Amino acid sequence: METVFDDISNALREPRTDVWGKVRVFALDFVGKLFLGIAIGIGFAIGMAIAG
């Protein structure tokens, strides 16, 4: 029974790897590019509307 608790305590002390790290970086990059594209598109549309 002590070995079970030893295994649990060792598992809790070990550093955890971030499984979702790469997915999070990709998602943030995608969202940033999406918003930048939308901002550029709106700016282009306003510029074309002003130019006439």
Domain boundaries, the chain: 19-52
3-state secondary structure of 16: coil
Does the structure show a pLDDT above 80 at 5?
no
User: Given pLDDT bands bounded at 50, 70 and 90, which one contains residue 28?
Assistant: very high
Please give the Cα distance from 43 to 36 (Å, whole number): 11
User: Given pLDDT bands bounded at 50, 70 and 90, which one contains residue 31?
Assistant: very high
pTM score of the predicted model: 0.56
Please give the Cα distance from 48 to 50 (Å, whole number): 5
The pLDDT value recorded for residue 29 is: 96
